[in-house]
Amino acid sequence: MPLAYWIHDLNPFLLRFNENFGIRWYGLSYLAGFVAAGLMLRLYHRAGRSPLDMNSVFDLMTALIAGVILGGRLGYFLLYQPNVFVDDPLMLVRVWEGGMASHGGFAGVVVALWWFTRKRELSMLQAGDLIVTVAPLGLFFGRVANFINGELWGKVAVVPWAVNFKNTGGGNFPRHPSQLYEAGLEGLLLFAYMQVRFWRGSAARLQPGRLAGEFLIAYALLRAVGETFREPDAGLILGLSRGTFYSLFLIVAGGGLIVFASRRPPDRSAMVG
């Protein structure tokens, strides 16, 4: 192995008080994602593109935090480590030991949106369209934190920018920094696409649910691209990595949302801006 390859030695803690307790970059990435999303939703309201005022945004963020963490945590064990969960169910609450799944987090977001909108005069589809335009920010920060943690590394590679993750279990090999690829794809690229669709398109106002459908499909496709560079973190299903396999269901769900939104009469009462 050429000596030029950088050996990953980043500290997962910003501040560390003992072996397992401290302020982790991973936790800060979630905080950054929710704060950024809240600021974007505030911008939407000021621009007349969202019915959510600051009080509503705060309530929504609270619901989403619970949904993402619980859904992501439960999804990780059910989708990637089912045997571990059966043998030790308390792993679910030991969040400091890591383990989150984006697909589970999506499910948690759906539950949170249902809870948030059921007692408000707000369409769940409209709220979902708003959330998906800011969700890539959280995905971006989360993938950067994955890189800092030295986890979910990529396949062995000889590209000049390969990274050696031997200190975090990746073996003494240069590997794709797939976490950064996914940060760019699922985070920055998807965020740019959703912002263009939100600000320059009329789907958010005329076809509630369409943007959510487009987000699910775009995320699934970009996730599949990223998975081609990533070392599978669990057994394959039908020859596909689990991240790619589970994303197939997102494509189906996204397609269903787009069809439903296109066939549904415009909800004039829910339009803003």
pLDDT classification of 141: cutoffs 50, 70, 90? very high
Q: What is the pLDDT of residues 217-266, one digit of tens each?
A: 999 999 999 999 999 988 899 999 999 999 999 999 999 999 999 987 76
Please tell me the predicted confidence (pLDDT) of residue 61.
95
> In the predicted model, is pLDDT for residue 93 greater than 90?
no
Question: Tokens standing for 227?
Answer: 């998975």
Residue boundaries of the structural domains of the chain: 6-270
Please tell me the predicted confidence (pLDDT) of residue 3.
55
Mean pLDDT of the chain: 91
Please tell me the predicted confidence (pLDDT) of residue 90.
74
CB burial readout 244-263, b (16+ within 10 A) else e: bbbbeebbebbeebbeebee
Task: Provide the sign of the torsion angle of the four alpha carbons 253, 109, 242, 152, taken in this order.
Answer: positive
Q: What is the pLDDT of residues 11-54, one digit of tens each?
A: 999 999 887 789 999 999 999 999 999 999 999 999 999 999 99
pLDDT classification of 154: cutoffs 50, 70, 90? very high
> For residues 267 and 254, which has the higher predicted lDDT (pLDDT)?
254
Please tell me the predicted confidence (pLDDT) of residue 83.
82
Q: What is the pLDDT of residues 63-77, one digit of tens each?
A: 999 999 999 999 998
Please tell me the predicted confidence (pLDDT) of residue 21.
84
pTM score: 0.91
Q: What is the pLDDT of residues 96-137, one digit of tens each?
A: 566 889 999 999 999 999 999 998 888 999 999 999 999 999
Please tell me the predicted confidence (pLDDT) of residue 273.
41
- The mean per-residue pLDDT over the stretch 148-155 comes to 96
- The mean per-residue pLDDT over the stretch 155-160 comes to 95
Please tell me the predicted confidence (pLDDT) of residue 51.
93
> In the predicted model, is pLDDT for residue 267 greater than 90?
no
- The mean per-residue pLDDT over the stretch 206-221 comes to 97
